[in-house]
Amino acid sequence: MCGIYGFAGFKEDGLLERMGRVIRHRGPDGQGRYEAPDGMPFSMGMQRLSIIDLEGGWQPVFNEDQTVAICYNGETYNYVELRDELEAKGHRFTTHSDTECLVHGYEEWGIEGLLKRMNGMAAFCIYDVRKREFFIGRDRCGQKPLYYHHSNGRFLFGSEAKSILQSQHVTAEPNLEAIDPYLTLRNVPEPMTMFQGIHKLPVAHYLHYKLSDNSLSIHRYWEVPLLDARTASYKSDGEYFEALEHIFYDAVKLCMRSDVPVGAYLSAGVDSSLTVAAMTKYSSNINTYSIGFDSPVDETPAARETAKFLGTKHHEIICQPEDFDLLPKIVWHMDRPVGDALLIAFYKLAQGASKDLKVVLGGEGADEAFAGYSFQGVIGKVNKVKALAPLAAMAFGITPHALLNKFFVFPADLGSQGKKRVIDFLRHYNHRDLNHNFNALRTLWSQDERHDIYSDTFKHRATTAWMAKEKDKDKNGPFLDRLLKLQYDEWLQDWALIRQDKNTMAHSLEYRLPFLDPRLIELAFQMPAHLKNNGKEDKIIERRLADKVFPPHIARRKKIPFYLPVEYFLDQPQFKALVADTLNETAIKRRGYFDPKKVSLLLEQMRTTREFIFCKQVMSLVVLELWHRVFVDKG
């Protein structure tokens, strides 16, 4: 059940139909519409992807007397347990769908009580006829997106921004304040979007709208729980391991609840490997899918070996140079610019899996919970000797940049630009808070570099005012957990999850993530750091779990970040044509954001050095230009 939309405070002929039609890819199996009674100015709809209760799960779904209605995008994995609890309290169900649990759960527990009990992924709208108000809400980690627009007494919402753009009252204008964060992070952090006047409802929040006065309020109902490092007491390592094993296998089992077959994405990494291993405990018929690039960083041989060990029916999909021609269509599906060529791989992977299935599981979320990214280990090491960080910056300044590759788990040469980024990170480490250090280490452009590439007319708009500071109430938490928590506030939903949701939904494929089970996240933040990352090894407790399933060479594979190696496509005519079309002098001048000479210099640096940072910088500019052409120019 994978696409919702609606509007309030006004009427517009044909709008609800147009809002649904433009996101039909999210739910091609059917549609539902709701108009509030008594002439109230509220309408909502949904596009359905049939997963649970194929015959009876049509929406909108109502309570017994039809005074509460819901349109829902997502899956509530623990709906069986919620239903049993609600039936014991006297609620009567007319379907076997997970959606109906939300209607009765709202009646029984209120909006916050419902959200705190849900285990799954969700974006929904609940309309209360008696109170003449409605709630829209999102799940804890932002697996399902939800956009809204509120202006002049008119409110619109949708699973994709393009639904909102179907109204005659909303135009696709670029949000100029979002350019600098996009260049910094290669995404636009919520609640901003690249559209002026369209916002994202933040993760773990709900919005309350009253039709009586067209007012809204936004509330947070959950956040990652940090212990106080000064008073924290920990259990034994064995107790944490037993809890992890129980919760993880149960999370996978819940994610496999479906009335249609379920498969999985499988890479060389321990996260997806462990997920598929758990799935084979509950089913002997699992289809797995991996993506490759015919390059030296291809993971398909390792994934193939894991699939053979687990006995799955395995499928391999290969990205080809001509797949760069897909980027305009992919950007349309994304709604937002995400400056990463890996979008092509996600699109192709979903396209391949959707030929066989409607549901796949994946391993996202494990790196955020158990510290699996190399920058987490790097920041941890630097923090332990932070007084020496300026000296380390000087040392790096006089050593070959190739030595950097020994500090980062990355399959490409970090090059001179990577060296500059690390030196800047070390030099200024003690003058930044944790969030700013986190961003400084992962950004493609430093603040000075961004300022240098901007045009003279745009420079004044480029400030770092958008970048949030670390919250004071978090600063007593354990250092590693404070760093991990930052990813749940921005990185996870705006980078990792949005790429998967939009590309799977482009092919009517549902993507489920056991590592985002709230019980597992909360357990991870109760553990001491030495069970997650000790500076030498990552995801320590998770790999111990993998040791029970796999031989050492699979369980202990080093993490290889999943990325599309643009440097291997530079000489292909498709890539050359794409860059020439989007980043020529005429195109750059038309937008007005960047200095054409500086962009030309960047292209030359990419061609001559082939350094991956230059390649990624170029791709981020290409995607930004494509977004403007697709949505603003309506190309």
Using a cut of 0.85, tell me whether the model's pTM lies above it: yes
125 catalytic per annotation: no
CA-to-CA distance for 417 and 443, rounded, in angstroms?
Answer: 11
Q: Is the pLDDT of residue 409 over 60?
A: no
Position 11 scores a pLDDT of 96
CA-to-CA distance for 591 and 569, rounded, in angstroms?
Answer: 26
Position 499 scores a pLDDT of 95
Per residue in 580-633, pLDDT (tens digit) is: 999 999 999 999 999 999 999 999 999 999 888 899 999 999 999 999 999 999
CA-to-CA distance for 319 and 342, rounded, in angstroms?
Answer: 10
120 in Cβ contact with 513 (< 8 Å): no
Same domain, 237 and 198: no
For the chain, report the end-to-end CA distance as a whole number of angstroms. 30
268 in Cβ contact with 302 (< 8 Å): yes
Residue 187 lies in domain: 3-220
Mean pLDDT of 538-552: 96
Which CATH number goes with the domain that contains 52? 3.60.20.10
Whether residue 633 lies inside any domain: the answer is: no
What secondary structure letter does DSSP report for 471?
Answer: P
Give me the catalytic one of 2, 71, 319, 615: 2
Whether residue 582 lies inside any domain: the answer is: no
Position 567 scores a pLDDT of 82
Tokens standing for 64? Answer: 């017994």
Kindly calculate the radius of gyration of the chain based on its CA atoms and give it in whole angstroms: 24
Position 404 scores a pLDDT of 63
> Bigger pLDDT: 580 or 51?
580
Amino acid making up residue 479? F
- Total structural domains within the chain: 2
Strand order in the sheet with 199-200: 30-35, 42-48, 3-8, 154-158, 147-151, 199-200
> Bigger pLDDT: 246 or 472?
246
Position 29 scores a pLDDT of 93
Same domain, 175 and 305: no
Whether residue 358 lies inside any domain: the answer is: yes
Per residue in 204-254, pLDDT (tens digit) is: 999 999 999 999 999 999 999 999 999 999 999 999 999 999 999 999 999
127 in Cβ contact with 140 (< 8 Å): no
Q: Is the pLDDT of residue 142 over 90?
A: yes
3-class secondary structure, 262: strand
CA-to-CA distance for 499 and 340, rounded, in angstroms?
Answer: 9
Q: Is the pLDDT of residue 559 over 80?
A: no
Position 1 scores a pLDDT of 61
What secondary structure letter does DSSP report for 205?
Answer: E
> Bigger pLDDT: 416 or 225?
225
Instruction: For residue 416, give every residue at least 6 positions away whose Cβ sits within 8 Å of its Cβ, in sequence order, or none.
Output: 401, 609, 611
Same domain, 232 and 216: no
Beta bridge partners of 195: 174
DSSP letter string, 511-580:
EE-GGG-HHHHHHHTTS-GGGT--SS-SSHHHHHHHHTTS-HHHHTPPP------GGGTTTSHHHHHHHH
Q: Is the pLDDT of residue 351 over 60?
A: yes
98 in Cβ contact with 52 (< 8 Å): yes
3-class secondary structure, 73: strand
Tokens standing for 66? Answer: 């039809």
Position 447 scores a pLDDT of 86
Same domain, 306 and 184: no
Position 406 scores a pLDDT of 61
Residue 623 phi, psi dihedral angles, 5° rounding: -65, -40
Q: Name the pairing type of β-strands 287-292 and 313-318.
A: parallel
Position 561 scores a pLDDT of 66
Q: Is the pLDDT of residue 106 over 80?
A: yes
Per residue in 146-161, pLDDT (tens digit) is: 999 999 999 999 999 9
Whether residue 589 lies inside any domain: the answer is: no
Mean pLDDT of 498-521: 97
Q: CA 276, 279, 281, 283 torsion: positive or negative?
A: negative
CA-to-CA distance for 394 and 99, rounded, in angstroms?
Answer: 58
Same domain, 46 and 62: yes
Position 146 scores a pLDDT of 98
Amino acid making up residue 329? K
Of 199, 220, 241, the one marking the end of a domain is 220
Mean pLDDT score across all residues of the chain: 93
Of 201, 220, 239, the one marking the end of a domain is 220
What secondary structure letter does DSSP report for 29?
Answer: T
Same domain, 302 and 195: no
Whether residue 476 lies inside any domain: the answer is: yes
Whether residue 536 lies inside any domain: the answer is: yes
Confidence of residue 535 (pLDDT cuts 50, 70, 90): confident
Of 507, 528, 562, the one marking the end of a domain is 562
Closest CA to 81 of 127, 123, 120: 120
Same domain, 262 and 151: no
CA-to-CA distance for 445 and 614, rounded, in angstroms?
Answer: 10
Confidence of residue 448 (pLDDT cuts 50, 70, 90): confident
Same domain, 446 and 538: yes
List alpha helices for 297-431, DSSP H. Answer: 300-310, 327-334, 342-353, 366-370, 374-384, 389-397, 415-427
Which CATH number goes with the domain that contains 558? 3.40.50.620
Same domain, 258 and 132: no
Whether residue 583 lies inside any domain: the answer is: no
Whether residue 627 lies inside any domain: the answer is: no
Same domain, 213 and 254: no
Q: Is the pLDDT of residue 411 over 60?
A: no
**Which residue's structure tokens are 């009646």?**
107
Same domain, 171 and 86: yes
Per residue in 176-191, pLDDT (tens digit) is: 999 999 999 999 999 9
Same domain, 253 and 193: no
Per residue in 2-33, pLDDT (tens digit) is: 899 999 999 999 999 999 999 999 999 999 99
